[in-house]
Amino acid sequence: MRAFTYERARSPLAAAAAVAGKRGARFIAGGTNLLDLMKLEIETPTHLVDVQDIGLDRIEPTDGGGLRIGTLVTNTALAADPRVRRDYGVLTRAIVAGASGQLRNKATVGGNLLQRTRCPYFYDTNQACNKRKPGSGCAAIGGVNRLLGVIGTSDACIATNPGDMAVALRLLDASVETVDGQGKTRTMPIAEFHRLPGDTPHVETALQPGELITAVTLPRPLGGRHLYHKVRDRASYAFAIVSVAAVIQPDGSGRAAFGGVAPRPWRVEAAEAAMRDGAAAVAAQVFAGARPTHENAFKVPLAERTLAGVMAEARAENRA
Amino acid sequence: MKFDTPAGTNPIDRMKVVGQPHERVEGPLKTTGTAAYAYEHQQYPGAPVYGYVVGAAIAKGRIDSIDRTAAQHMPGVLAIVTAQDLGALGFGPLGKGDKNTANLLGGPDIEHYHQAVAIVVAESFEQARAAANAVHVAYTRGQGRFDLAQEKPNAKALTGSDADTATGDFETAFAAAPVQIDQTYTTPDQNHAMMEPFATIAWWEGDALSLWTSNQMIAWNREDLATTLSLPLEKVRIMSPYVGGGFGGKLFLRSDAVMASLGAKAVGRPVKLALPRPFIMNNATHRPATIQRIRLGATRDGKLVAIGHQSWSGDLPGGGPEVATQQTKLLYAGANRMTAMRLAELDLPEGNAMRAPGEAPGLMALEIAVDEMAEKLKMDPVAFRVLNDTQVDPEKPTRPFSQRNLVRCLKEGAEHFGWHRRLATPAQVREGRWLVGMGVAAAFRNNINIASAARVRLNDQGIVTVETDMTDIGTGSYTIIAQTAAEMMGVGIDRVVVRLGDSAFPVSSGSGGQFGANSSTSGVYAACVKLREAVAQRLGYDPERAEFADGLVRADNRSATLAEAAQAGELVAEGRIEWGNLSKQFQQSTFGAHFVEAAVDSFTGEIRVRRMLAVCAAGRILNPRTARSQMIGAMTMGVGGALMEELAVDKRFGFFVNHDLAGYEVPVHADIPHQEVHFIDEADATVSPMKAKGVGELGLAGVGAAVANAVYNATGVRVRDYPITLDKHLAGLPTLT
Ligand SMILES: Cc1cc2nc3c(=O)[nH]c(=O)nc-3n(C[C@H](O)[C@H](O)[C@H](O)COP(=O)(O)OP(=O)(O)OC[C@H]3O[C@@H](n4cnc5c(N)ncnc54)[C@H](O)[C@@H]3O)c2cc1C
Ligand code: SF4
């Protein structure tokens, strides 16, 4: 870990201004991802602006009938909120499928959206990695990559976004609200938040330097069955090999988004027209153009099978 | 005390304290965080400073240069020690302990990835870590060999106890056998993944070196450290009173001890050093991967007539094989048999012992093959194993097993587990989306005895203190040693103090090979026999007739308390158990049967173990509570080995890629829902005065195959390549409806 300076901001604007005004400055929220990366010198900020005292830790109804979730709401609090559990069950299910109780107590909304990949070569500073060190190459291509991406990847990087919460937020058409160092606010759909790697895998989101996530908003509830199935090699405390978030209506129509397969939560809205035709029809469109590696080719059929399982579960719940 | 005739009746047979489910005597210390582990000790001269190791960034090649300018000037940095600096510190080139394969300090030659090349010592841990990252090492990469399958044709035969074996005429008998199995199985490299990392606090007082460290074998560690640093043995003191798991990884001297000692020499202060987790997987040892070919030939009525087991593994030049064929020499009857191991040279990190070395991966393969044979014969896998039991060493039929209750384990286990509900045809049982199956495997692990000594003291308060360099690696050594001394001296366990893990104490067996419990308590037994004599003499009693019970010594209508016996001064006795030829006369082994029920998600292929049962026959169980803990821990490790544990090799660059506990998955609680353990009531008088064997490795032997067989019974897809992850059977699962 490199030496760094530290301050605690008192307001969202002060926090954004503090980061925007200083090269190498970063926000720190729960610290569960950033500190690990700093210890390994994968991240080397020179200044940390702690945002835990800036408010933004409430969940409030919006005028549009949805919810506004402050960025500092912990994963634990968000998953446990009665409104979220009732109206956005897929979000609760996705969050509690992630990490561990202790980590979720610290993890925040904004930090979770910005968690970095779990590609093992990204974590080993002796290895080439375009995401960690632009231009150095990608050791994962041709190496151990069973858990890496199958779609949306590039010749520069095949890493996945490892998050669970983001998959549910993508499914729910959430929006991300931000403020920058000048106090300018903007709102962007979650679909535009995470970027595909292309030639610049180190650029992972649409955020500008110093831009602070203030909240995530959810549109009005969708009804239907809310399901999240996370497939992994052990029963808990592991990142997704593949995950499926779905909201399925009694007539079989609905939405599906996939985690563990791509550099961002993977959802193809056009494919959802086929939800009533079954998982194969949906998956064929969602994974059209997939470029898996030899080791992770199984993820494509696995994603389809996982979706089939989720659909079967929704049908069973409807009968019950 | 030489143990060369089977034990008669002795004080242990009273089983008033031994054999009782005593709680761990050191349990409260551990649960309150007051048992100090290697990195936590406070007893040394002066304030400590902190070390951090720099590891090689390549697997094979040479260091061209080390640029330490930036690091040297960073805040708090006190010293940087590399192989180039040994002379300046007054050391010659480092020696190598006879149990180490790779050098613990590399340079200029690099033998494996993350081989230590430098230690940075600084005032704080953070400063040391930051400076270690700023040491710039330039390398020239060499050509390495990293792929076992590719090196297999170059693998060499071995000699001594690792040489090929042959009995009868395997090839002819196999070729003629009406029912045959010929399959290849693979097991991956595995890591011990113990909780406590390798850690040491080292300091020098003049030319004497002392270490708080975390090690299973105090005497080995001391000898190998003395050899490495060219010190006289008596100048080295090793203390390791608590060990947070080792599983064989801490049998040997490792880089933490050597690097901390060098760092301490450089700065003249105690140096604390723990290896960070992402470094351990490639810096320390691992269980080597195997490729195993098993051929079984049987008659139509299910008698094995040919058993052949070949295994290939790899290690650094000068290393050894994974002895995966070991159990196959002894587990089943069959007149014609062969085993053969071949060792390839690989430039991966050092392979070495991990819990149940040999048997763990060997049985993972053999016990699938046996299941495959039973299926081919249309026989129940329990009945097939029972039919092929042997009571004698199959290679030497005049040599009986000392005690062999494998058949009882299998039958009682089957009964208790509800084995009759298993359907022989796989993929027949569905519960909702789950496919459900049951599997069985035999467990087998040889008994090993190691010479072991102890000192016992009796003071005027009647307190018995045991001192031995035996370690407690989380197994319960403190407790069973206290029980042994209490039984021998006729006092309650609360009157016994046990002090372990210090090279100032008599040399014990140490902890490994499941020999620790039986060997170390036998050493304590030997010492207590001497102490009883000393007590009787002091009291003027006839030692032959003195009885020790209820805190009293009685003989010929006289009696005295133990405290009274020591009024005139502390009584001290030392004893050592040595082993005669009984293990040659008798084959001494431990046995068990593992039963597993597993469910497989028919959509995703995810595998979840539902129930596990182990029935064991392992001699006298010294403490059913600690023995059960050993078993359930081992069974948990077996599930890990079967379903998830694998050090993933980058075959281009030669290292284990998933080198932290996020990437190297071991089971979590949710993976282990229900475990049951039964011990068959035994006492084996041929093994020791304690009549006990070990269970710590038996619990792991065979579990993986029982899981694999249960998964097969659930799905009908046979996976022979561990770990059995969902991608390996997904395509064969029943089609979705
Ligand atoms: C062992 C382990 C297992 C895990 N398993 C899972 C899992 O299974 N599934 C899963 O989804 N996640 C998992 N995680 C990741 C975990 O969810 C994230 O670490 C956590 O959500 C990050 O939140 P944080 O508040 O701690 O972020 P921090 O570590 O504080 O910050 C992360 C990043 O976000 C930036 N940041 C934080 N807040 C803001 C803001 N308001 N505006 C702009 N930038 C901001 C920081 O600068 C930093 O770059 C795991 C983590 C660990 C350590
Ligand atoms: S896949 Fe991406 S993160 Fe992984 S090594 Fe390649 S560039 Fe780095």
pLDDT in tens, B698-736: 999 999 999 999 999 999 999 999 999 999 999 999 876
In this complex, which of A41, A123, A142 lies closest to B133 when CB atoms are compared?
A: A41
Q: Which class would CATH give B11-35+450-578?
A: alpha beta
| pLDDT single digits (tens) B617-654 | 999 999 999 999 999 999 999 999 999 999 999 999 99
- Displacement of CA B598 from its chain's centroid (Å): 26
Among B592, B671, B597, which residue's Cα sits nearest to residue B628?
Answer: B592
B21 contact A CB<8A:
no
**Chain A, chain B: beta-carbon pairs less than 8 Å apart:** 101
CATH of B371-448+585-732, one of 1.10.760.10, 3.30.590.20, 3.30.365.10, 3.40.640.10: 3.30.365.10
B674 contact A CB<8A:
no
Residues B323 and B357 sit within 8 Å (Cβ to Cβ): yes
pLDDT-derived band of residue A320, with 50, 70 and 90 as boundaries? confident
pLDDT of residue A317: 84
Pairwise CB contact (< 8 Å): B659 & A120: yes
| pLDDT single digits (tens) B366-402 | 999 999 999 999 999 999 999 999 999 999 999 999 9
Pairwise CB contact (< 8 Å): B670 & A306: no
Active-site annotation holder among B26, B367, B375, B697: B697
CB neighbours (10 Å) of residue B328?
30
Contacts of A233 in chain B (CB under 8 A): 643-644, 665, 723, 725-726
Task: Give distance in angstroms: CA of B662 to centre of ligand 1.
Answer: 15
pLDDT at B487 exceeding the cut of 90: yes
Q: Check pocket membership of A42 for ligand 2, CB cut-off 6 A.
A: no
Q: Is B487 a catalytic residue?
A: no
B277 contact A CB<8A:
no
| pLDDT single digits (tens) A41-71 | 999 999 999 999 999 999 999 999 999 999 9
pLDDT of residue B737: 57
pLDDT of residue B736: 63
B727 contact A CB<8A:
yes
In this complex, which of B433, B659, B665 lies closest to A238 when CB atoms are compared?
A: B665
Which amino acid type is present at position B239?
Answer: M
pLDDT of residue B239: 98
Task: Give distance in angstroms: CA of A299 to centre of ligand 1.
Answer: 25
Contacts of B75 in chain A (CB under 8 A): 3
| pLDDT single digits (tens) B183-224 | 999 999 999 999 999 999 999 999 999 999 999 999 999 999
Task: Give distance in angstroms: CA of A104 to centre of ligand 1.
Answer: 9
B675 contact A CB<8A:
no
Average pLDDT over residues A151-165: 98
Contacts of A118 in chain B (CB under 8 A): 662-663
| pLDDT single digits (tens) B514-536 | 999 999 999 999 999 999 999 99
Task: List the single residue in B with minimal CA-CA distance to A303.
Answer: B604
Pairwise CB contact (< 8 Å): B604 & A305: yes
B659 contact A CB<8A:
yes
Pairwise CB contact (< 8 Å): B663 & A235: no
Q: Check pocket membership of A32 for ligand 1, CB cut-off 6 A.
A: yes
Pairwise CB contact (< 8 Å): B653 & A309: no
Quickly list DSSP for chain A.
Answer: ----EEEE-SSHHHHHHHHHTSTTEEEESS-TTHHHHHHTTSS--SEEEE-TTS----EEE-TTSSEEEETT-BHHHHHH-HHHHHH-HHHHHHHHTSS-HHHHHH-BHHHHHTPPP--TTTT-TTS-BTTTSTTS-BTTTTSS-TTS-SSS--SS-------SHHHHHHHTT-EEEEE-TTS-EEEEEGGGTBPP-TT-TT--BSPPTTPEEEEEEE-S---SEEEEEEE-SSSSSS--SEEEEEEE-TTS-EEEEEESSSSS-B--GGGGGGGGG-HHHHHHHHTTT----TTTTTHHHHHHHHHHHHHHHHHHHHH-
pLDDT-derived band of residue A319, with 50, 70 and 90 as boundaries? confident
> What ligand 1 atom has the least distance to the C-alpha of A99?
5
Query: CA of A167 to nearest chain B CA: how many angstroms apart?
Result: 19
Q: Check pocket membership of A131 for ligand 2, CB cut-off 6 A.
A: yes
Interface test mutation site (partner B, options A115, A124, A315, max chain B beta carbons within 10 A): A124
> What ligand 2 atom has the least distance to the C-alpha of A120?
4
DSSP class of residue B99 equals T
Q: Taking the domains of chain B in order of start, what are their residue ranges?
A: 11-35+450-578, 39-143+193-283, 371-448+585-732
pLDDT at A122 exceeding the cut of 80: yes
Average pLDDT over residues A13-21: 96
To the nearest 10 degrees (0 to 180), the angle between helices B255-267 and B218-229 is 50
| pLDDT single digits (tens) B431-482 | 999 999 999 999 999 999 999 999 999 999 999 999 999 999 999 999 999 9
Contacts of A298 in chain B (CB under 8 A): 726-727, 730-731
Q: Give residue ranges of A with CB < 8 Å to any B CB.
A: 1-3, 39-41, 118, 120-121, 123-127, 139, 142-144, 146, 229, 231-239, 241-242, 298, 301-302, 305-306, 308-309, 312-313
pLDDT-derived band of residue A318, with 50, 70 and 90 as boundaries? confident
Structure-token pair, residue B458: 């009796």
Task: List the single residue in B with minimal CA-CA distance to A298.
Answer: B727
Average pLDDT over residues B331-350: 98
pLDDT of residue A285: 98
CATH code of the domain occupying B39-143+193-283 = 3.30.365.10
Q: Report the C-alpha gap between A141 and A128 in whole angstroms.
A: 10
Q: What is the mean pLDDT of chain B?
A: 97
Task: Give distance in angstroms: CA of A283 to centre of ligand 2.
Answer: 25
Pairwise CB contact (< 8 Å): A305 & B650: no
Average pLDDT over residues A117-127: 98
Task: List the single residue in B with minimal CA-CA distance to A100.
Answer: B668
| pLDDT single digits (tens) B45-82 | 999 999 999 999 999 999 999 999 999 999 999 999 99
Pairwise CB contact (< 8 Å): B653 & A142: no
Q: Check pocket membership of A263 for ligand 2, CB cut-off 6 A.
A: no
Pairwise CB contact (< 8 Å): A143 & B129: no
B330 contact A CB<8A:
no
Contacts of B57 in chain A (CB under 8 A): 126
Contacts of A121 in chain B (CB under 8 A): 657
Q: What percent of chain A has pLDDT over 90?
A: 99
Alpha-helix residue ranges (DSSP H) falling in B495-623: 516-539, 562-565, 582-585
Q: Check pocket membership of A166 for ligand 2, CB cut-off 6 A.
A: no
Query: CA of B55 to nearest chain A CA: how many angstroms apart?
Result: 10
Average pLDDT over residues B24-33: 96
Task: Give distance in angstroms: CA of A152 to centre of ligand 2.
Answer: 13
In this complex, which of A41, A127, A233 lies closest to B665 when CB atoms are compared?
A: A233
Residues B325 and B311 sit within 8 Å (Cβ to Cβ): yes
pLDDT of residue B208: 98
Domain B11-35+450-578 and domain B371-448+585-732 have a common topology: yes
Quickly list DSSP for B259-318.
Answer: HHHHHHHHHTS-EEEE--HHHHHHHS-BBPPEEEEEEEEE-TTS-EEEEEEEEEEEESTT
